[in-house]
A = this chain, B = another copy of it.
Amino acid sequence: MVSVAIMGHGVVGSGVAEILLTHKQKLFSSLGEEIYIKKILDLREFPDSPIAERFTKNFEEILNDIEIRVVVEVMGGLNPAYDYVKRCLKAGKSVVTSNKELVAAHGAELLALAKEENVNFMFEASVGGGIPIIRPMNQCLVANNVGEVAGILNGTTNFILTKMIADGMQFADALKLAQDLGFAERNPAADIEGHDACRKICILASLAYGKHVYPESVHTEGISGITLSDVTLAKSFGYVIKLIGKVKKLESGKIDILTAPMLVPLKSQLSNIDYEFNGIMVRGDCTGDVVFYGKGAGKLPTASAVVADVVDCCKHLKARRFLFWADGDGSNIISYKDSVSAMYLRVSGEDAEAKVQTAFGEISTAWSDGELAVLTPELRYGEFQEICEALENDGIKILSSIRIGDI
């Protein structure tokens, strides 16, 4: 029997407890011993829980219980999660978390601490919810140099964009629907401004390239500026607009990473990942493109990924080598202004087509309601910004601009 504790009894935490109780026999078959929930930490009371007597409001009870070998952190947020996780690791307990904010902010430090203490720090559930991605990237794709990782990493924004694309809804209406259905929070900023997707691509980039990438180093744009006109015009060019987190290894050895809405070509496997689903493409030098698809959030999908890590920790109470990256200082990341891509833009103004053509060279165009949509050739983002500034000085109004994803 291995004793575990769960810190947090919210959506994911209650799912973890539920799976450990309802799937006891299946987990026993796999592990060869029982996983016993010894304590659950939450400030609230849960008198109706079948294991109500095991709840505690006191973290020290978990920390000081030497029988508890694995601690699940599903409180979310940085405080007190960061402090608690550090103290658990220092006390020689393995930690499993679904907390992407924690991993993106302190992953390198916590991995180093786990290594020092010869325990595990695992976070399969922090990216892609129930989709297996951390372990496949590290174990199954170990014989690959990863050239690129690109993903639809946030279900809320993908739901909103899908509603705009499929049903012609306005952004604000689609957001409200997402909130009504429980896909988006009342304060949806972390999702719609791209911060959540950014944290996840940071985790995948750290994993793929061995150095911690902090969210502060990553240029991040959200979807609140995407209009129905853009969605419709993108479709007329054969693209759908998706919020993409993307990291690519350049020939220089540096990485090009960003989170932004992108025009995704309809032939891309990411183009038809719709509604609240997530999809992650990993491009290996041996495998080619491998895509993982599924529910990126939700109680049981996320909890099942947490439980898979718990089983792994119970099997390997000492540190496993496969999951590790060093700290990073951002020096391996190029400026987003040096990132190269083709661009979509929507403009208005006199002689727009001629002026834009002169500015960018070979372009594809479409007109809609007196506005001109343009696809440019590939260019540095910094150069794109300079050209746009010059066009604005020349009387052209830039109504929107979106990267074209080569994915």
Contacts and interface: CB of A to CB of B under 8 A. Distances in A.
Contact of A294 (B26, B285, B291): B291
A143 B26 contact: yes
A140 B307 CA distance: 9
Most chain B CB atoms below 10 A, which of A23, A29, A269, A312: A269
Given A284-B130, A300-B287, A305 B30 contact: no
A141 to B, nearest CB: 7
A312 to B, nearest CB: 7
A344 to B, nearest CB: 23
A3 interface: no
Interface of A: 15, 19, 23, 26-27, 29-32, 124, 130-132, 135-136, 138-145, 210, 269, 272, 284-295, 298, 300-301, 303-305, 307-308, 311-312, 315, 321-322
Across the A-B interface, give the 9 residue pairs with the lowest CB-CB distance, nearest first.
Answer: A132-B140, A130-B287, A286-B304, A143-B307, A290-B294, A291-B293, A132-B136, A286-B300, A143-B304
Contacts of A286: 15, 19, 23, 130, 300-301, 303-304
B293 A30 contact: no
A273 to B, nearest CB: 8
Contact of A142 (B30, B293, B301): B30
Contact of A143 (B293, B308, B322): B308
Nearest to A19: B143
Nearest to A32: B321
A384 to B, nearest CB: 32
Given A132-B290, A142-B311, A291-B291, 10 more contacts: A23-B145, A30-B321, A130-B284, A131-B287, A132-B140, A142-B308, A284-B304, A287-B300, A292-B293, A315-B322
A27 to B, nearest CB: 7
B294 A288 contact: yes
- Identify whether the interface residues of A are mostly helix, strand, loop, or mixed: mixed
A308 B308 CA distance: 20
A131 B143 CA distance: 13
Contacts of A307: 142-143
A148 to B, nearest CB: 14
Contacts of A288: 130, 294-295, 298, 301
Contacts of A143: 19, 23, 26-27, 303-305, 307-308, 311
A323 to B, nearest CB: 10
Contact of A292 (B144, B292, B303, B305): B292
27 contacts: A23-B143, A27-B142, A30-B321, A124-B140, A130-B288, A132-B139, A132-B141, A139-B308, A140-B308, A142-B311, A143-B303, A143-B304, A143-B311, A144-B304, A284-B304, A286-B303, A287-B295, A287-B301, A288-B295, A288-B301, A290-B294, A291-B291, A291-B292, A292-B292, A293-B293, A315-B321, A315-B322
